[in-house]
Amino acid sequence: MKIAVLYNVPSRRFVKDPTHRAAEEDTVESATEVHEALLTKGIQSRLVPISEDTIPDAVASLVPYDLTFNLIEWTGVDTKYAMQTYDEFVKYEIPITGATKECYRDTCNKIPMKKLLDDAGLPTAPWQSFHTGFEPVSETIVYPSIIKVSSEHSSVGVSKESIVHTEKELTSAVHRRIETFRQPVIAEAFLTGREFQVTLIERLNGLTILPPAEILYIDGTDVPLLTYDSRWNVQHSDYGNSTVGIVKLDEKLSYVLSDMCMKAFQKLSFRDYARFDIRCNTQSVPYFLEVNSNPGLGDDEEYGMTISYKAAGLTFTDFVWEIICSAARRYDLV
């Protein structure tokens, strides 16, 4: 089997404003690790970078390959490039791993994602979208709330200042975010209970939930929140304010997490693998924060997905190969 590993390089906008470039560069690292894992399996693999200027040619170059490991992560104002790439996949009938165009589109934007969760009867924190900032604040808003940019990933736009406690604070924060990021935002109840990253993978014996990873905030953390700075800015005082670990869950919470994740994967039409971010309220009731299609991959012990597949007895190469096998079964390549 010949497999191409497709990944996007940071778009041109990061040349002018490199503020959040770090969150884009990890895609290159992820693709390299996947490529190297495939080489250890004796697979003929090739890294294929793609930019907004090379979409047609890059996708056309995938035609000779049996399967493409799709690692594009364009979001925010760059989502349009991902949609163009998916259209080219269809044009050339390229077999790919992971999400469909529709699943990718609807899960990389928090507004349709939250609507899908609500429509499917899946638990997600109370929320409201704001497109102009002049919308009346709903009476269903719960305080404290957190303001999130609708179509960014990797905690872009998330800081301690994103948390608001009054309608006046909310309105001010909404206006600031819309002005800065030039896109809609959501206000969502800020949950402060236990926080999990749950990885699912389609294996030969069916959809499997790996042992959930828990986000563990270090002692002294004033606000238990994964901000952009805590994740990406090594110079910031909040950097590294959390670790991840596999912890024992009581039977009730384990069942609820498993049930809600299985339903979300199936109802929202995920394929091959996914990572769901979940947080509990103070009464230990879990809610979806994010449902991630095509999540980043890597053999990093600080990443929840990594410790989850290792807790399941898998190596990174094993995990990558399970994704390949799932996609190959779907396209009748095996």
Q: What is the pTM assigned to this prediction?
A: 0.92
Which pLDDT belongs to residue 233? 77
Provide the CATH number for the domain formed by 126-189 in this structure.
3.30.1490.20
Residue 22 has pLDDT above 70, yes or no: no
- Average pLDDT (196-220) is 95
Q: How far apart are CA 26 and CA 285, in angstroms?
A: 32
- Beta strands at 213-217 and 206-209: parallel, antiparallel or unpaired: unpaired
SS3 for 176?
A: helix
Do domains 126-189 and 195-330 share one topology? The answer is no
Residue 122 has pLDDT above 80, yes or no: yes
Q: What is the pLDDT of residues 4-13, one digit of tens each?
A: 999 999 888 7
Confidence of residue 20 (pLDDT cuts 50, 70, 90): low
- Beta strands at 163-164 and 44-50: parallel, antiparallel or unpaired: unpaired
Query: In the chain, what are the domain boundaries?
Result: 2-96, 126-189, 195-330
Q: How far apart are CA 274 and CA 199, in angstroms?
A: 6
Please give the mean pLDDT across all residues of the chain. Answer: 93
Residue 324 has pLDDT above 80, yes or no: yes
Which pLDDT belongs to residue 334? 79
Distances (CA, A) of 245 to 175, 198, 258, 322, 334: 37, 12, 18, 23, 35
Look up residue 304 and give its two tokens: 């929840």
- Average pLDDT (299-303) is 88
Distances (CA, A) of 74 to 25, 104, 107, 244, 328: 12, 10, 12, 26, 24
**For 118, phi and psi rounded to 5 degrees?**
-60, -45
Residue 19 has pLDDT above 80, yes or no: no
Which pLDDT belongs to residue 23? 62
121: left (phi over 0), alpha (psi -120 to 50) or beta: left
Distances (CA, A) of 298 to 53, 114, 126, 194: 27, 27, 32, 24
Q: How far apart are CA 69 and CA 85, in angstroms?
A: 13
Provide the CATH number for the domain formed by 195-330 in this structure.
3.30.470.20
Residue 116 has pLDDT above 70, yes or no: yes
- Nearest-5° Cα angle at 16, 15 to 19: 85
Q: What is the pLDDT of residues 124-148, one digit of tens each?
A: 999 999 999 999 999 999 999 999 9
Helical H runs in 268-333?
A: 304-311, 316-330
Q: How far apart are CA 187 and CA 185, in angstroms?
A: 7
Share of the chain above pLDDT 70, in %: 98
Higher pLDDT, 227 or 329: 329
Q: How far apart are CA 332 and CA 194, in angstroms?
A: 41
- Average pLDDT (207-230) is 89
Q: What is the pLDDT of residues 233-261, one digit of tens each?
A: 788 878 888 899 998 899 999 999 999 99
Which pLDDT belongs to residue 247? 86
Fold exhibited by the domain 2-96? Rossmann fold (3.40.50)
Q: Where are the beta strands (DSSP E) in 90-160?
A: 127-130, 145-149
Least confident range of 4-8, 17-21, 121-125: 17-21
3-state percent breakdown (helix, strand, coil) of the chain, nearest 5: 40, 20, 40
Q: What spatial distance separates the first Cα and last Cα of the chain, rounded to whole Å?
A: 10
Which pLDDT belongs to residue 110? 94
- Average pLDDT (144-153) is 91
